[in-house]
Structure 1
Amino acid sequence: MNFIAWMIVGCEIAFWIVILLGLTTRYIAKKEKMGFFLLALTPVIDLILLLVTGIDLYNGTKATTVHGIAAIYIGVSLAFGKSMIKWADEHFLYYVMKQGQKPIKRFGREHANHGLKGWFQHLVAYGIGAGLLGALIYLLNDSQQTEALSGILRIWSLVLAIDLCITISYFIWPKKMKETIKQ
């Protein structure tokens, strides 16, 4: 595995460590401002990955699938970061601190609407990641060097379309609550 691949893995691990430290600091140590500060560091992780990837490509490294995945990671992290932190916050509060409300399970129209909201977040992630990939392709201006980035963009476009089809299916065939079997 190359350096950028390790950076992506490291950034993902760092993302969840920072969230866990932020939540632990906020709820267990009762230091709300410090907890907020730690949670606010998550975009810094993205910036580090962006800089390292950019420097690697600037130094003449041929763009690989891993460089494309770095762009996807940054887009997803920025688009979904706030909702992932909210999800982690709710689950930490309920399951670890035994406080707050149990995280809700969605069914029917509510599930479909939530899925649509997630698809729009995916669209934003795609916009950010595709913008980064497009910028790299344009700046490097060498189709042989950026072939992998173009491939990633095509695959991600397909994934986004499939995600939309799945999201639409939630409206056509709504998720139903499972009935409990009495014995």
Structure 2
Amino acid sequence: MIVAVIAGCEIGFWLLLAAGLVLRYPLRRPRAGAVVLTAVPLVDVVLLVVTVVDLRRGATADATHGLAAAYIGFSVGYGRTTIRWADARFAHRFSGGPPPPKPAKYGRARARREWLICARTALACAVAAALLQAAVWYVADSSRTDALQQWQLRLAAVTAVNAAIAASYTLWPKRPPATVQGQRARHEHHGQQGRQG
């Protein structure tokens, strides 16, 4: 049952997001769009309530309960970012807004981007781990919560992997391809010649 609820919540998230943005931009109803977008976090509340009720009825926690906590955590960590990402694209497409900036690919800017992703992932995993721990305390029966504790270990591993990736971009910054560097050097050379002339 929990898997079906998670799938329904994922569909609900994207439907509410799309409805809010369509109201805000193509239909020119920004207030109504804002109301719908404000309701997006309610999807997580529904999932949390269903999960708690299922455990309260005596269900043994399994991987699906852990997945529910992870889903809620990642909604907290990435939900606002996803909404901003979609909003920028709708604003550009339907309201003459500026084109969304392209994500940094090289150098220090790429390293900063990776650390930002790492911070969001750490927040998501921390929220999910806290929910899992609350469920462990709530059930108060280790024979029924082993799967939740296994999920906590997985979340710790995800956080560690993200930190390692971000650190690698800091220690060994990714360089642009030689063709891009060559074009940049030629552009700077021509600019210097123009100033001298």
**2:108 matched to 1:109?**
yes
Q: CA deviation at 1:65?
A: 0.4
Q: CA deviation at 1:95?
A: 4.6
Structure 1 position 175, deviation (Å): 3.2
Task: Give the number of equivalent residue pairs.
Answer: 180
Aligned to 1:152: 151
Look up the match of 1:91: 89
Residue 18 of structure 2 corresponds to 20
Q: Which runs of 5+ in 1 are unaligned?
A: none
- Equivalents in 2 of 1:105, 1:27: separation in Å? 24
Q: SS of the residue aligned with 2:141?
A: coil
Q: Following superposition of structure 1 onto structure 2, how do residues 3-18 of structure 1 map, counting pairs within 5 Å?
A: 3-18=1-16
Using the alignment, how far apart are the partners of 1:103 and 1:176 within structure 2?
20
My pick for the range that moved more, 114-123 or 48-57, is 114-123
Give the 4+ runs in structure 1 shifted more than 4 A: 95-98
Which secondary structure does the structure 1 equivalent of 2:143 belong to? coil
Structure 2: gaps (5+ residues) = 184-197
Q: Answer with 1 or 2: which has the greater Rg.
A: 2
* 1:87–1:175 Cα change, 3 Å: farther
> What one-letter code is carried by the residue in structure 2 that aligns with 1:64?
D
Report the equivalent of 1:127: 126
User: Which amino acid in structure 2 is aligned with residue 20 of structure 1?
Assistant: A
Distance in structure 1 (CA, Å) of the matches to 2:97 and 2:147: 47
Paired with 2:55 and 2:112, the residues of 1 have a C-alpha distance of 40
Does the 8 A contact of 2:26 with 2:94 survive in 1?
Answer: no
Distance 1:27 1:67, change over 3 A: same
Q: Which amino acid aligns with 1:162?
A: V
Match of 1:33 in 2: 31
Equivalent position of 1:141 in the other structure: 140
Q: TM-score, normalized by length of structure 2?
A: 0.85
Deviations 1:36-85 (A, max 9, x none): 11111111000000000000010011111010010011111012111110
- Determine if the alignment matches structure 1 residue 53 to structure 2 residue 56: no
SS in 2 for 1:61: coil
TM-score normalised according to structure 1 size: 0.91
Residue 62 (structure 2) pairs with residue 64 (structure 1): yes
